[in-house]
Structure 1
């Protein structure tokens, strides 16, 4: 019996074959070579968006029972412009992430992305989770390619919940890794998004809110952190300017004198907003 490589078959036959693969299998094929990487990207709409219950961005997590996604070298093509930008900052060690919560006993250089496939009612020990550790400060072109590849995979995925627990993506890194026309289409899609405060990097906040597509609810957990009047004004301006995109905004665990922030917000915006104080 004579065998033919799959790439020698007509594109429509290749597509039919690849559609039978699950997420992990398709990911492994995509990493095989440049041909399959480009082919799957070109026909990504035919595969439909990948779906996960939750993407959890955190600094510390017990990962012994999780499947670790391999971070091997990826032959992901960069445009000449993007490659030039990456080469120009190799010595700067630009961070991929902006830290939100200061955790003194955890090194901030080891952020984790946790992909959860199962809904909330599945017991924690039975949930199917995958964890990924990206280069935190790329110093090689290969590391920039890895970060860009995984950011691109996240953009092609629909999530029930996007949980920014300890950090968010650094806007400077995203602007570095994507061309201007790509950034215009850069969107994190989910039904619910959760932020943890404090995070004094309001530019990173604004960028993230600008690029969020949330169909249900945005939650901001203040963790009873006392904020200054200037910070409250900055938060209020962000919510007023970006909040119209969200039908529901939940403010959680406010400090007692932050109720003015809530009162000012609901008097300006005519939307459903829930205030929770624990």
Structure 2
């Protein structure tokens, strides 16, 4: 009987030993596989790491301290953890199920702030800093909500709710916000809906500079008269999205001041946005949306035609608006290969705009009008 239990124990011990040896073999193989990279210049190492997935980067981080620090230093340029979540910032009166609430506490965050950053915070914290973009609701309970539901109505039953300081008044609160924003910037989200709030771009600039971006595959942002500059700054500096939908609701004639800013986003955002869909609306009877659309339309054409480098232009652009006036968009004088068709009562006008420096760079424009007017602008592949 003793021999039987001894053999059983020995067999179990050998299996555990095999598993441990296999684990160390895996770690060593990863180390030797990437140890040759230690002799490469940092910029070459970075280019190699850009081809790796988030899971592969996590494995390499465990091989040695050099790779861990290197990956952490360039985390803004490397693969992110993909989360099948929708991110949003709702106002919630009360969270009934406290199990779903993540209430951030400074004691649970263990990392030091360097002296230069400490001094910077001391100067900035003389005045309270809002976490979210400025608006009249900052005193309410605003939460960062992650859910697997894509519906317009947020069901808290399916949410993970993160409570961060809405107004930052001290170093501990800044520490909390820095920690969790850094976590969010290292993830990519399936969906994002921002009708009311976005993160304050000035705060992101303070904490991280302009290098940090939040990655959202399908993102919708509402822009109103009072927050247009703030939100365009956020889009320009801190957002990357495959499909970006922007709703502009105007009641004042102020859009003209921001057309250049919007065109700059479209002209330089090709690496961040595959498609940008802009929809223009108004409640004001005295405001003609077509004037805004015409300014935007003319500047896009001028940029495509005359820019010496269109390589960073967003490849797919959609402009939607209600044309309730007799004002019409004219076919630009630079248009080539003009086609006007009538199909099932729908008038469709197509033409191409060619770059004067490189005739291979072409964008196709397509105007359609049903109840709404649509302009599709698509880069033609060479």
Provide the TM-score with structure 2 as the length reference.
0.52
Q: Is the 8 A contact 2:92 2:142 kept in 1?
A: yes
- Structure 2: distance between partners of 1:262 and 1:159: 31
Structure-to-structure mapping, 1:152-163, within 5 angstroms: 152-163=182-193
- Structure 1: distance between partners of 2:230 and 2:173: 22
Relative contact order (C-alpha < 8 Å, sep 6+): which is higher? 1
| Aligned-pair CA distance for 1:252 | 4.9
| Aligned-pair CA distance for 1:121 | 6.5
- Structure 2: distance between partners of 1:122 and 1:236: 29
Pairwise CA RMSD: 3.9
In structure 2, runs of 5+ residues without a counterpart are 1-12, 14-22, 31-67, 302-315, 323-371, 373-382
Give the corresponding residue for 2:319: 274
- Structure 2: distance between partners of 1:194 and 1:122: 11
Give the corresponding residue for 1:151: 181
- Structure 1: distance between partners of 2:183 and 2:255: 35
Q: Is the 8 A contact 2:91 2:143 kept in 1?
A: yes
1:187 aligns with 2:213: yes
**Change over 3 Å in CA distance of 1:83–1:50 after alignment to 2:** farther
Q: Is the 8 A contact 1:250 1:275 kept in 2?
A: yes
Structure-to-structure mapping, 1:77-88, within 5 angstroms: 77-88=112-123
Give the corresponding residue for 1:254: 282
**Change over 3 Å in CA distance of 1:159–1:152 after alignment to 2:** same
46-55 or 147-156: which moved more?
46-55
Provide the TM-score with structure 1 as the length reference.
0.69
Q: Which has the higher strand share?
A: 2
**Change over 3 Å in CA distance of 1:215–1:127 after alignment to 2:** farther
Q: Is the 8 A contact 1:112 1:134 kept in 2?
A: yes
- Structure 2: distance between partners of 1:59 and 1:174: 21
Give the corresponding residue for 1:6: none
| Aligned-pair CA distance for 1:142 | 1.3
**Change over 3 Å in CA distance of 1:142–1:128 after alignment to 2:** same
- Structure 2: distance between partners of 1:43 and 1:265: 36
Q: Is the 8 A contact 2:146 2:160 kept in 1?
A: yes
| Aligned-pair CA distance for 1:126 | 8.5
In structure 1, runs of 5+ residues without a counterpart are 2-8, 16-36
Give the corresponding residue for 1:89: 124
Q: Is the 8 A contact 2:256 2:295 kept in 1?
A: no
Cα distance per residue 1:210-239 (max 9 Å; x no partner): 2211212232241xx4122xx211232221
Give the corresponding residue for 2:245: 218
| Aligned-pair CA distance for 1:174 | 1.9
Give the corresponding residue for 1:207: 233
- Structure 1: distance between partners of 2:261 and 2:111: 35
